Amino acid sequence: MSSKVVQYILLCAVFLYGVVNALKIGSFNIQIFGDSKSKKPEVMEIIGKILVRYDIVLIMEIRDSKKKAIPRLLETVQSHSEGDVFDMIISERIGRTNSKEQYAFLYRKDRGIEVVDSFLYEDGSEVDKTDQFEREPFVVKFKASNAVPDVFSLIGIHVDPDIAVQEISALEDVIDYTMGRTNTANVVVLGDLNADCSYVSKSKMKKLAIRHRSDLYWPIGDDVDTTSGNSDCAYDRFIIRGKEFIKNIVEDSVQVFDYQKHFDLSRELTLKVSDHYPIELELQNLNSPSLGTSIVSHRLSVTGIFFTSVFAARCLSLF
């Protein structure tokens, strides 16, 4: 075997290691996840298979007043992994009405991921009706030792559809506050923003100031469908702040995960799981060959995309 072939194989190994070991971040509205849903084995099996794909994933619409659904969820996810590799941080039960919800971030502790700080955004008094959100955003600052950047803050939010325009607008303040409190420029809003269709028309979206801030990146477009039902709406979104975070998003990794197609599910079972699909992205790790290459430049360069795809295919054929 020639030295050039050996070098090529080694380069491929490094390339594929970087791709396989990218940090996958997701957001999933599981739709009224409580005691009843957590008792359905066929539904929990699919939820477990979905969540185990992620290194960090936000889970929304948890309604677990009996405090039984969340332990079952963690047990299910652990059963689909290589042992006790996941941990979870959960918010308080929040909401103005009697129908309280919780946010949860599930994360892989075996990948060097740890929680540095967490808090619910203080948005005013519910008693005085000066609060901005039906469900206050849940902020968690993470340290991921092998990711670039290795420290970032995630802001989980489930926007009230009845006042979606106001709540989405108020996220500007949440982003700025989070940057200061957590002392990091790399901040990501993720969740169900109800940012489309009857809740927020495309014309209203275009008028929102948060859409025109040059330091904020919305990688999921208004024409994307994040729902599993008959609607075609871009409800679930990422809003990303931080040049280092943005430039290290793995090329073409921002997407909606269609679990119906992936797991070949019936329509009935798909809708039992949720009326939403998860959204996801990947961050490059320290060994990624294209570390620091901007996703924006990737999208503008057809040649770059073609080269990466062809190179990846050739590498895979060697192993």
Active site residues: 101, 158
Instruction: Give the Cα separation of 268 and 250 in Å (integer).
Output: 33
| Two tokens, residue 303 | 């040649």
Backbone angles phi, psi at 109, to 5 degrees: -75, -20
Torsions phi, psi for 51 (to 5 deg)? -70, -30
**Phi-psi category of residue 124: left, alpha or beta, with phi > 0 → left and psi -120 to 50 → alpha:** left
Q: Which residues on adjacent β-strands are paired with residue 217?
A: 240
Kindly state the tokens that stand for 176.
């700025």
Residue 206: which residues within 8 A CB-CB, separation 6 or more?
Answer: none
Which distant-in-sequence residues (6+ apart) come within 8 Å of 191 by Cβ? 27, 29, 58, 60, 155, 156, 157, 158, 159, 236, 237
**Residue 58 is which amino acid?**
L
Reported residue count of the chain is: 319
Q: Residue with structure tokens 């294209």?
A: 290
